[in-house]
Amino acid sequence: MKPPLIRRRDAIQSLMGGSILLPGLLAELLAGDAPADPLSPKPGHFPGKAKRVIFIFSNGGVSHMDTFDFKPKLFAADGKTTGVGGGLSNQQRVLLKPGWEFKPGGKCGALVSDLFPHIRECMDDICLVRSMKSDDNEHYNATLGIHTGSFFFSRPGIGAWVSYGLGTVNQNLPSFIVLAPQMPYAGLQIFNNDFLPAYHQGVRVIPGREPIANLERRTKENKVQEMELGLAGAFNRRHLESRAGDAELAARMKTFETAFHMQTEAREVFDLSKETDETLELYGMKRGQSDGFGWQCLIGRRMAERGVRFVELVDGSSSHNWDQHGDMAEHAKHAKNIDQPISGLLRDLKQRGMLDETLVVWTTEFGRTPGVDGTKGRGHHSACFSSWMAGGGVKGGLTYGGTDELGATVAENKVHVHDFHATILHLLGLDHTRLTYRHGGRDYRLTDVHGNVVKALLT
Amino acid sequence: MTFFSENGFAFRCLRPRPGIEWLRYAGGFSGMWLAMVVLAGLIMESNLPAADAVFFRGFNLNGTALEIDGRLWEGNGTSNLSFKGGTFENQAVLLKPPTDPARASMIRSSIWGGNADLTLNHIPEGSYQVFLYVWEDNHSEKIDLLVNDRPVLEGFHSGNAGMWKKLGPWKCESHNGKIKVSARSGAANLSGVEIWSGTGPVPQASSPEFSSNPSPDQVAFFESKIRPLFIENCYSCHSAKAEKIKGGLLLDSRKGLVKGGDTGPSITPGDPEASLLIEAVRHKSEDMAMPPKKKLPPEQIAALEEWVRMGAPDPRTDDTVAVVTAKNAIDWNQARQWWSIKPLALPERPAVKQAKWPVNELDYFILDRLEKAGIRPAPDAEKRKLLRRATYDLTGLPPTPSEVEAFLSDKSRKAFARVVDRLLASPRYGERWGRYWLDVARYADTAGDNSDFPIPQMHRYRDWVISAFNRDMPYDEFLKAQLAGDLLPASNEQDRHEKIIATGYIAAARRFGSRVDDYPQHLTIEDTIDNFGRAFLGLTINCARCHDHKFDPITTQDYYALYGIFNSTRYPWAGIELEKKQRDLVPLGKPGEIAVFEQEKSDAQKGLDAEVKRIEKELKAVEAVEGEAKKDLEKNLTNAKEAAHKNAVRQPPYDMAYAVSEGSKRQDAQVQHKGDPSKPGPEVRRRFLTVLGGTELPAEDHSSGRLRLVDWILDRNNPLPARVMVNRIWLHHFGRGLVATPNDFGKQGKPPTHPELLDWLASRFIREGWSVKKMHRLIMLSHTYRLSGEKSSEMSLHDPNNELLGAFPRRRLDAEAIRDSLLFLGGSLDETPGGAHPFPAQEEWKFTQHNPFKAVYESNKRSIYLMTQRIQRHPYLAIFDGADPSVSTAFRSASTTPLQALYLLNDSLVHEQARGLAVRLLKEKKEDSRLQLAYSLVFSRPADRDEIVQGRSFLNALRAGFQESGVTDDKIEMDVWQAFARVLFRLNEFVYLD
């Protein structure tokens, strides 16, 4: 057999010429007239303490009086007194005693139930809000509301707004990533970019061989793909030359470079082999494990480390979650699932010095009724519920706001979903009234025409 | 025996009276005379003076006896009342409107339930009138009320927490000494009952009067204590000089004070407890605490209370209410001067210097502006580029090599016109341009509720749209059919069915939530109005749902005038979490056929339902006893229920259309204050937008009004439909409309870049019978359309955004065109039209918000036929800027993201089609022929020398590499050509059209 006329190595080199796609000409174009890369990092409206968010969402409606809101009067329920109950919080029912004891946590002594013993030890870093309020009692609508600020209409999710407001520091990873093994209520609507540009949509990661769609190189040989990209680059450059300075064409060429790198870099995020045993233990994980909420939290930390602006961790799904109408005892297994992993995440971030700049948020779509649903369950309750934040400039060790003696309504310092959103944006250095997008003749924002920053929560 | 007329007026039937009895005894009189006597008797009856009603009894339900309005009411323990229902009390809730303490206490203790009954006992025989106090402590419930088992009020909304109402009077008789009042459906809170005997008018409690002639002392009191208080604490928001008047309340004049604000009268003279203003300054309620930031000191609150007790004496005479009303009133004449609402101009074509350049009229308008800006138009596009542009434009697919050849060899002047005609005649045209309309109409194959129920019949509307474009249905007919097709005359059965299917446009409005009883129809109607306003008129009418439009001359009254029309229309039911089957779809069968099937189905249903009830009864009987018998019965019950459900969802032998029809109740709607259906305001006659004439639905028209609506829209004096549609056509030819905001021709939109051209095109559009294909020809056969994309230096200087179209704008293919092209080039495109989706059968529908419907159906058909959902996005369409089916999409964005690049790198569809293309290329024998064929197929042009050289190097390098790694010879060619195909698919030239 005759040796090949052109040596393979030389051929590749001539096609690729150093960087795969980006010789001087292109670099100039991108530096000059190019439309600003929409994902390049942008300053906020003012310096914010938080640089990124890890948003933990527990599906189904976590009962506040069984977790973070100690209600002695409920513990003393006599089996006769009624309060608001029923499936959708619209009937008078006998009060149900909480199923777990409360104990103080940390130096601040905040009372947390036995459902979250690990998180309880982190209360000095946590800013607990007991006076959350939502506007809708249905899973879908409330989930949509806590993510997009709208309880009925399609709007961009909070992750998309943050990506839009601040861009990302790592161009090789999406700026908004959602770790959701299963889908929550309202489906993709809550991670959607909606009318914001497409770069800001949440990219869903599902544990497994291909956590991000199309991430796995389909051509068996790496080199083949590289050569393909090399030839494409050469042809694209010629195409560009005769279409003087079309920055859009140049920008598209760059996305192939990014995609190429994503194949390795994004994979690298999921490679846990370099994490120490101690770290894995913090999250309650075994070596080699690639699923479970501990995995989600650890990957979340790794993404935050690598500059992803907004990571959402979805706990549960639309069909398997905290929605205990039948038997409150089942809260236990859902809590066990996330308690240690979340505390591990907080500790890990703190150890690495990341907690000050990473805002960790834990929330749910609504609380549950003080009165019973069925015989042993609780119904949906949007009039009040609990959420917390940690890091990123919030006051740790603070318990803010309160509910009435039954946990049925907000008694003081109400924090509506819109106020919660306004505060999160503020921590990131964004003024929620100025982070707007003109669409259909109107300036939209995450908080619509509502919301006030809750200054008491800020350091 | 007593019977009731429609309005509840009771009249007695005849009791035999002595006179008539005597006549009967007398026997044998003519019927006529008997009738006269009977008639006289009736007249005499009704002429009897109605006795003034007298208070008979009052009941404080679940409360103590107390005195209200100076009368004693009975409370707990009385034998005059028995009830069925729960008991409830919460004296902490603030009532809206506030009222005196005794009444408030009565209201806040109640008997409640969804099946509550009140039996008022020991009532002597006679006629009575009943009032019922109801209140709401939590969320609004929808309640039906009955007196003596006869419905007197259905669908009453109890309102928000704190709201209460005195309902009635309802006339009734006592039966066996009892009167029964019942509440059904929602969980009602019944607070109190008043019974008045007699049929005459119940004397109204005298409404307290505002003091009209204040004494000097009272004036002094006002001037020293009240006016300064108002000026300092209230005027900044509640005076004519306020920047923004809050709550509609003016406190700077007596008129304003008396009128009150949006939530009602601010003062009940003489009664501070019943005055909203006093409640507000007391800061008792979070929603209404005035002044908002700080509470007034106690002595000021006391002064206000005293002033109200005095009757609120107020010497001020200015009429700020009138001032404010005048200020806010829309000047309609001025409003009609807005560019998009002004009548269509018929401009003369402008004179131009380069007299030879224009090919048709349109070109004059374009050239004129270019010349004024000092820009030379670009040279003509090369023939191949022009053909590629036109083919993608009209069909969304690339031209084939033979089509390119044919165009190149046709040297006649009509060559391009022939191409345009060929493309317009292709069924692929409707699939391309129909998609643009589906974007605007936010088409989806699912309903958008919390469980996103599939709509198996929706595809008929999609197919109708495609067909309408293909046969060049005139746009005015297209519009009419979608809004009122079911009400239009039809030429035959098929035409009638198609017109019904067309109303799928309205039916496609978004659905929300999971409930049936509380279904938020007002949101589905808002979605309807939002879309139809934007699609046909370029107006954002939906903004007026809660308040007058902040920018455009559209009032809330206008919104609810239209609301009444859609509220009188019956929408099909797609199924929802709490009622998982369809209903109210429109049958597309022959009338006889339909009747037969429906009768048969309903008979079968009755039998199956009865069987279910029978087994339930049996089960109840053996309730306590466990064992085989019970288990068997339970199994039988499950089977019976399944059988009943299966029959209920049984599909007829004819098709069903997801379409609208006339509602059973057709009437005007009430304004919903701030868009809240639980806060109804005055009724608004159904009519068109005021700024467009405001023509009312005639009194004798008892239809929904949709047919009239179409007439109003297409009235010759309404320039909007033609302007809006012509702009859309222009937009899709050139990448940007003459109006850059195609869904908004109002103040927040952009004005046209070429207003005369827009109007000239719109007038032409109407004159040519609203033909879309004729407009395509007009535009595509112009010189402007034929230009190359070469931007001159003057352009970069004077028109960098190319608004003047001195060169043809380069554009990226949209998601459908990219996918269709990949399939086409790979040889896999299935060109047969779409049809139905493989949804699961209705009997299997168990979707809930916990387990919503979710599916992605693989298909090699054109992308317009992909199944699209409302709450889950199709993965491919999501990456490539497909339309968001929740909103009207006027044009696609063209984002550039690494996720798109990843798709082109690694997605299986791309690799499969590369394989398909490689197979086609390998049919050529020689390497150079294969390369040329590739360029011809993918780019409609030959490869040049450099491209051949580079291509060859690449192929050789790859071959060498594969050989080294041991790939067998027979596979190598397939592998290298697939790789080459993949390269071409990723190039900018593939997705960017010059």
pLDDT at position B271: 84
Q: Are the Cβ atoms of B986 and A232 closer than 8 angstroms? A: yes
Q: By CA distance, what is A189's nearest residue in B?
A: B871
Which segment of A340-354, A435-449, B383-397, B443-457 scores lowest on mean pLDDT?
A435-449
pLDDT cut 70: percent of chain B above it: 94
pLDDT at position A245: 65
pLDDT at position B374: 93
Q: Which chain B residues have a beta carbon less than 8 Å from that of A212?
A: 902
Q: Which chain A residues have a beta carbon less than 8 Å from that of B900?
A: 255
Q: How far apart are CA B9 and CA B152, in angstroms?
A: 12
pLDDT tens sequence across A65-122 = 999 999 999 999 888 898 999 888 888 899 999 999 999 999 999 999 999 999 999 9
pLDDT tens sequence across A112-153 = 999 999 999 999 999 999 999 999 999 999 999 999 999 988
Both structure tokens of A369: 């009724």
A127, A131, A134, A139 alpha-carbon torsion, rounded to 10° = 70
Of B749, B873, B983, the CB nearest to A232: B983
Q: Give which of B983, B991, B992, B994 to mutate to test A binding, by max A Cβ within 10 Å.
A: B983
pLDDT at position A319: 80
ipTM value > 0.85: no
Give the A:B interface size as CB pairs under 8 Å.
Answer: 216
Of B893, B902, B951, the CB nearest to A215: B902
Q: Give which of A224, A257, A317, A321 to mutate to test B binding, by max B Cβ within 10 Å.
A: A224
Of B513, B878, B896, the CB nearest to A255: B896
Across the range A52-72, mean pLDDT stands at: 97
Is 90 exceeded by the pLDDT of residue B975? yes
Q: Are the Cβ atoms of A138 and B88 closer than 8 angstroms? A: no
Q: Give which of A33, A59, A92 to mutate to test B binding, by max B Cβ within 10 Å.
A: A92
Within 322-351 of A, beta carbons closer than 8 Å to B belong to 323
pLDDT confidence bin for A243, thresholds 50/70/90:
confident
Q: By CA distance, what is B534's nearest residue in A?
A: A440
pLDDT at position B894: 83
Radius of gyration of chain B (CA): 37
Asked whether A182 and A320 are in contact (CB, 8 A), the reply is: yes
Radius of gyration of chain A (CA): 25
Which segment of B322-331, B463-472, B513-522, B760-769 scores lowest on mean pLDDT?
B322-331
Residue A22 or A206, more confident = A206
Q: Are the Cβ atoms of B907 and A214 closer than 8 angstroms? A: yes
| Least Cα separation, residue A378 to chain B (angstroms) | 17
Residue B218 or B479, more confident = B479
pLDDT tens sequence across B24-39 = 444 444 445 544 544 4
Is 50 exceeded by the pLDDT of residue B745? yes
Is 90 exceeded by the pLDDT of residue B782? yes
Is 50 exceeded by the pLDDT of residue B45? no
Which segment of A284-288, B265-269, B425-429, B908-912 scores lowest on mean pLDDT?
B265-269
Is 70 exceeded by the pLDDT of residue B487? yes
Across the range B546-554, mean pLDDT stands at: 91
Within 427-446 of A, beta carbons closer than 8 Å to B belong to 440-442
Burial of B480 (0-12, 13-18, 19+ CB in 10 A): buried
Q: How far apart are CA B26 and CA B19, in angstroms?
A: 11
Q: Are the Cβ atoms of A90 and B992 closer than 8 angstroms? A: no
pLDDT tens sequence across B837-881 = 999 999 899 999 888 999 999 999 999 999 999 988 888 998 898
pLDDT confidence bin for B122, thresholds 50/70/90:
very high
Across the range B298-302, mean pLDDT stands at: 93
Q: Are the Cβ atoms of A215 and B963 closer than 8 angstroms? A: no
Asked whether A358 and A428 are in contact (CB, 8 A), the reply is: no
Q: How far apart are CA B124 and CA B178, in angstroms?
A: 8
Of A174, A235, A256, the CB nearest to B901: A256
pLDDT at position A37: 66
Across the range B89-118, mean pLDDT stands at: 88
Within 62-81 of A, beta carbons closer than 8 Å to B belong to none
Q: Which chain A residues have a beta carbon less than 8 Å from that of B906?
A: 214-218, 263
Q: Give which of A228, A256, A414 to mutate to test B binding, by max B Cβ within 10 Å.
A: A228
Is B674 near chain A, with CB under 8 Å? no
Q: Are the Cβ atoms of A8 and B960 closer than 8 angstroms? A: yes
Q: By CA distance, what is B448's nearest residue in A?
A: A186
Q: By CA distance, what is A256's nearest residue in B?
A: B901
Q: Are the Cβ atoms of B906 and A216 closer than 8 angstroms? A: yes
Burial A422-439 (b: 16+ CB within 10 A, else e): bbbbbbbbbbbbebbbee
Q: How far apart are CA B454 and CA B853, in angstroms?
A: 7
Residue B586 or B288, more confident = B586
Q: Pick from A124, A445, A444, A170: which is nearest to A311 by CA?
A: A170
Is B899 near chain A, with CB under 8 Å? yes
**SS percent in chain B: helix, strand, coil, step 5:** 45, 15, 40
End-to-end CA, chain A: 75
Alpha helix (H) residue ranges in A283-355: 292-305, 331-351
Both structure tokens of B217: 């002392």
Q: Are the Cβ atoms of B513 and A138 closer than 8 angstroms? A: yes
Which segment of B93-97, B564-568, B743-747, B935-939 scores lowest on mean pLDDT?
B93-97
Q: By CA distance, what is B746's nearest residue in A?
A: A441
- DSSP secondary-structure letter at B759? H
- Strands B655-657 and A415-416, how do they pair? unpaired
Is 70 exceeded by the pLDDT of residue B612? yes
pLDDT at position B767: 97
pLDDT tens sequence across B344-376 = 998 999 999 999 999 999 999 999 999 999 999
pLDDT cut 90: percent of chain A above it: 65
Question: Which helix H or strand E contains B932, and what residues bound it?
Answer: helix B927-939
Is B115 near chain A, with CB under 8 Å? no
Q: Give which of A37, A185, A191, A235 to mutate to test B binding, by max B Cβ within 10 Å.
A: A235
* Residue whose structure tokens are 């070596």: A287
Asked whether B339 and B744 are in contact (CB, 8 A), the reply is: no
Across the range B747-767, mean pLDDT stands at: 96
Is 60 exceeded by the pLDDT of residue B11? no
pLDDT at position B19: 40
